[in-house]
């Protein structure tokens, strides 16, 4: 366990070095946008100044969006690079001689990178709260709007509360399973690509796009199939809104099962390749 802990700690720190600058950038831009939102709330400022501030704010929103996309891309890049270096690169000689099984190595790396996926999502969520005009939303007192009250009352009567919480929980579980599948899929692409003697990057990229595309098509086919053959969705006499929620629950449950199966297959495949087809540089 101590060796696994050190392995997780080292991978975690190495990924942090790659992605931490993006978090600093997201935080700085979030704070700047928040300050500009406060400035724009002042109704007495000059129109020319308001125009300049609005233009600058729009630029920051654009850069913030690029930083979010960059953090996601960098995280995927970090997973690929860390897995390659620690298994197939110079570090591979040390990693593969540790007194732990191949499955434990894969599991440790999966836990590490999953942690970063969760952290990345949490950081993006926090910085997103900085860039939305919360003050204006609160000052608008939307909860007193008759249309909003009517919508809430409709949801209370149309939807059963007991289905709302399971829907949210299942969606969160699906996101975790999806992240695990994504990580193991990256491991799989790197492992298969390194079985070749040349064009490894090209092979890995092709695998990622082709097999990833096939998996996405299968998942969408399941969603379409369950939608088309869900008779309750076409029942106009029943509670349509509640039927939709039930469909979402069943669809998420099905996707979780499929993602779990794919993850197990990917885990076993990577484990087999590393144990029997390992090609160190």
Range from 3-12, 159-168, 226-235 carrying the lowest mean pLDDT: 226-235
The pTM score is 0.80
Backbone angles phi, psi at 278, to 5 degrees: -65, 130
Average pLDDT, the chain: 80
Which residue, of 82, 115, 140, is where some domain finishes? 140
CA distance 130 to 38: 11
Query: What is the residue whose two structure tokens read 């696994």?
Result: 4
Domain holding 110, by residue range, is 1-140
Give 279 or 144, the one with higher predicted confidence: 144
Give 8 or 64, the one with higher predicted confidence: 64
- Whether 109 and 77 share a structural domain: yes
Which residue, of 103, 120, 140, is where some domain finishes? 140
Two tokens, residue 251: 């669809």
- Residue 110: the pLDDT is 92
CA distance 275 to 263: 18
- Whether 112 and 150 share a structural domain: no
CA 233 to chain centre: 29
The conformation of residue 24, written as its DSSP 8-state character, comes to H
Please give the span between the terminal C-alpha atoms of the chain, in angstroms, as a whole number. 28
CA distance 167 to 161: 10
Burial code of 11-40, b = ≥16 C-beta within 10 A, e = fewer? bbebbeebbeebbebbeebbebbbebbeeb
Tens of pLDDT, residues 223-267: 776 666 655 555 555 555 566 666 667 777 777 888 888 899 999
Tens of pLDDT, residues 188-225: 988 888 887 777 778 888 888 888 888 888 877 777 76
- Whether 125 and 153 share a structural domain: no
- Whether 129 and 171 share a structural domain: no
- Whether 6 and 112 share a structural domain: yes
- Whether 78 and 160 share a structural domain: no
- Residue 101: the pLDDT is 82
- Whether 135 and 166 share a structural domain: no
- Whether 75 and 197 share a structural domain: no
CA distance 135 to 124: 20
Which residue, of 120, 140, 160, is where some domain finishes? 140
- Whether 163 and 267 share a structural domain: yes
């Amino acid at each position: 366990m101590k060796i696994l802990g050190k392995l997780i700690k080292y991978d975690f720190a190495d990924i942090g070095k790659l992605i931490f600058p993006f978090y600093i950038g997201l935080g700085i831009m979030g704070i700047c946008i928040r300050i500009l939102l406060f400035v724009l709330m002042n109704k007495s400022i000059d129109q020319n100044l308001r125009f300049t501030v609005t233009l600058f704010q729009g630029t920051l929103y654009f850069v913030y969006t690029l930083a979010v996309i960059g953090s996601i891309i960098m995280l995927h890049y970090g997973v690929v690079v860390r897995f390659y270096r620690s298994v197939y690169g110079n570090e591979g000689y040390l990693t593969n001689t540790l007194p732990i099984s191949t499955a434990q190595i894969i599991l440790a790396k999966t836990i590490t990178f999953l942690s970063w996926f969760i952290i990345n999502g949490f950081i993006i969520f926090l910085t997103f709260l900085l860039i939305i005009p919360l003050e204006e939303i609160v000052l608008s007192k939307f909860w007193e709007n008759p249309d909003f009250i009517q919508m809430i009352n409709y949801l209370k009567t149309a939807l059963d509360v007991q289905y709302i919480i399971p829907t949210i929980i299942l969606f969160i579980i699906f996101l975790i399973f999806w992240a695990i599948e994504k990580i193991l899929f990256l491991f799989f692409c790197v492992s298969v690509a390194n079985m070749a003697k040349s064009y490894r990057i090209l092979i890995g990229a092709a695998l990622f796009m082709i097999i990833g595309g096939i998996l996405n098509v299968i998942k969408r086919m399941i969603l379409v199939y369950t939608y088309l053959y869900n008779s309750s969705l076409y029942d106009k006499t029943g509670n349509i809104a509640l039927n939709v929620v039930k469909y979402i629950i069943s669809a998420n449950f099905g996707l979780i099962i499929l993602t779990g199966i794919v993850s197990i297959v990917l885990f076993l495949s990577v484990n087999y390749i590393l144990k029997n087809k390992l090609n160190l540089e």
